[in-house]
Structure 1
Amino acid sequence: MTDLVARDLQSLADQGEDPAELLTVFRQQCLAGDYRFGIALYEGRRLPSAFRPQALPLEDWQPFETANALVESITGGDARAESGFIERRLLEQALAKGRKKLTRRLKKIEQEERQAGTFEKQKICGELLLANLHRLEKGMRAVELDNYYEDPPVAVTIELDPLLTPQENAERYFRRYKKSRRGLDHLKRRVDETHEEQRWLEQLALDLDEAVTGVDLREIAEELTDAGFLPRQSRSVDPRKSPSLKDRVRKATSPSGFVLYWGRNPRTNDYVTRQLTTAADLWFHAHNIPGCHLVLKREGRSEVPDEDILHAAAVAAGYSRGQNDTRVEVMIADGRAVKKPKGARPGLVTVDRFRTVRVAPIRLPEE
């Protein structure tokens, strides 16, 4: 499902259509091959689609009889352009598979967490045994004790190893507790890592929407390949040297003349944050949604007018997943507060201190 189709279905749902019914009809159309190929002019962008949007306010719709005719129109018969068009589809599929993979992983971890969540019971059993050693003897297979951790206390049956002494049985439960506790801590780390991967994938999805050149597509493909979400044989190889990261960064000027730099994908975002941002500069990013890293260069100027801060925030919002929203919340931080964790993927950072503003998104012509 392309972003255009997803937005159209969301618009229909917002108008009162049943979401489940919409997805059922969409699935039936796909299975039946009931396509309506065309190019939508939407928000100033030409977007190819296998289905004509029903609810989105299109500026134009150019229909085509077949998928080949659609591709031919986009590429102009140029093999290199056609390759890029096809690669975009491959990247969209890789992102969709990646999302499903991470969702399945989270569900599996949740199941393991529920199983490991009984570790506190192991600890209680050990403590109850220690408190009642005088009632235990080696050779016992079980014992019924009052669980004084409950109010009022309730009887609980604790299984014992008849080959162990009472003290050894208590220690066995404490070992189980420590092992389960370590396992649960590991599961929590895996949850955090998976959520981080999900945020990274959503950032790549935004970058793919913004991609306009073969270089953009190649860089996204490299990111997905390095992360294991795209087989290496699926990557198209272009022998031409890619432009430097410096040349790929977007640049503009604020109303008072401050220079703004912002990235177009994880690697250029990394470059903006790690190479172009100093401790005194101001750093911007849409809050809690995928978006670019943007820096406002102070260049020795102590004060930055509110007009320039709000302008920079609006640009950061305009190059985020919230670009079509009326208002977007944007983080503002000093450069010194932005750090990249060791081993983190490109474009992923932590921000120690920040404030937020709500602004209307804007997009600018690049300098």
Structure 2
Amino acid sequence: KEWITINLIMDKVRAKEFSFNIYTDENPEQIGFYCLDADYLQPFNKEQYADPGMLLDDYYSGADNKNKINQRVASLIKSMNTKIDRDRKKVEKQRNELLNAEDREKYKIYGELIIANLHKAPENHKLTVVNYYDPEQREITIPLDPKLNLSQNSQKFFKRYNKLKKAEEELQKLIEISLNEIQYLENILYSIEACEDIDDLEDIYNELISEGMMKKKSKVKKTKEYKPEFTTFISSGGHEILVGRNNLQNDVLTFKTGKKDDYWFHAKNIPGSHVLIRTEGDELKDDEYVEAARIAAYYSKGRNAGSVEIDYTKKANLKKPPNSKPGFVIYDTNYSMLVEPNITGIKIKQ
């Protein structure tokens, strides 16, 4: 087979059948450029040039841009990983504090047992009494503050109990906030890793600036309403399937582009793109749901997994809580399916 390919190339050279092409894969990533029509590079896409000089300019300009993107992506990934590690340590500390707060019941028991035994005299700054809260009624020794009388000691224990109770409620809220922050940062990290071009990267920078996670390097002029160009596929039934490539795009796709009868897809419990299939009022075929789910799996953190669970529901069932992070939605009515993260055979709109 290799000799056949070499002979074909030599035949084209002898016949001076030159054709200047840049070849790209489906992402699209540049594979290389050739001065011949390299049929053996199928099924890669090709862009043909009449002028080899223009081809070289475009190819190396694209490579240079790719290098710049890679450098900025690496810097952002490092920054996001640092923030995620910091928040995980914060959650660990908060959970340890929560365990201490959950130990508060003993202070309430100390206070109540002291009140029930005010007639008893303490020994060596301790009070040994029967623990009425113990099913076996065993004795318990309560440490006392020698500067306080029994009544004051009981009040001190009650205050500690109430303080820890309040701390537990506050810590539970803080842990939830921290976990949501980690989830958000992991979504950002996925978007960074999935960047396809400089525009995607700029979207992420703008989002981080708006969230106060990065400083503006210079004064930014006000631009028109944000209207991203979504990656678009065509289902086997002829319906558009749109993909948001970052949180800003996801918000616009889901809440400004989608109509109430469109179907929304997202990888379950992992970072990924919002995917929307436009129904145009039609009844979708079963295959179309699977195609949209496969796209959602492919454009998710689970791309390299054997299968990914996908949630899907009508756009009308989605809600965005006030003041929530970009890309965040909630829903309580949905279907799920397990699919392979594979977009082979699904037509991409040119």
Task: List alignment gaps of at least 5 residues for structure 1.
Answer: 1-40, 48-73
How far apart are 1:91 and its partner, in Å?
A: 0.9
SS in 1 for 2:341: coil
Q: 2:72 maps to what in 1?
A: 87
Q: What TM-score do the two structures reach when normalised by structure 2?
A: 0.72
Aligned with 2:161 (options 159, 177, 188): 177
Query: Residue by residue, what CA displacement relative to the aligned partner does 1:246-292 show, whole Å, maximum 9, x if unpaired?
Result: 33333333222333222110111111222233443322100111111
Aligned with 1:131 (options 107, 110, 116): 116
Given the alignment of the two structures, is residue 150 of structure 1 paired with residue 134 of structure 2, yes or no? yes
How far apart are 1:144 and its partner, in Å?
A: 1.6
The range that moved more, 160-169 or 327-336, is 160-169
1:1-367 → structure 2 map (5 Å cutoff): 45=29, 76=61, 83-135=68-120, 141-160=125-144, 166-227=150-211, 229-230=213-214, 232=215, 245-301=226-282, 303-363=283-343, 365-367=348-350
Note if contact 2:239-2:278 (Cα within 8 Å) is conserved in structure 1: yes
Aligned-residue Cα RMSD (Å) equals 3.5
How far apart are 1:209 and its partner, in Å?
A: 1.9
How far apart are 1:337 and its partner, in Å?
A: 2.9
Inter-CA distance 44–85: structure 2 relative to 1 (3 Å threshold): closer
SS in 1 for 2:232: strand
Task: List alignment gaps of at least 5 residues for structure 2.
Answer: 1-24, 32-58
SS in 2 for 1:248: coil
CA distance in 2, matches of 1:128, 1:339: 51
CA distance in 1, matches of 2:170, 2:135: 32
CA distance in 2, matches of 1:322, 1:175: 49
CA distance in 2, matches of 1:75, 1:135: 90
Inter-CA distance 274–83: structure 2 relative to 1 (3 Å threshold): same
Query: Residue by residue, what CA displacement relative to the aligned partner does 1:164-219 show, whole Å, maximum 9, x if unpaired?
Result: 66555434323322221111122122222222122212212221122122221122
Q: What TM-score do the two structures reach when normalised by structure 1?
A: 0.69
Counterpart residue identity of residue 128, structure 2: E
CA distance in 2, matches of 1:150, 1:161: 24
CA distance in 2, matches of 1:297, 1:154: 70
Q: 2:38 maps to what in 1?
A: none
Counterpart residue identity of residue 312, structure 1: A
Note if contact 1:263-1:269 (Cα within 8 Å) is conserved in structure 2: yes
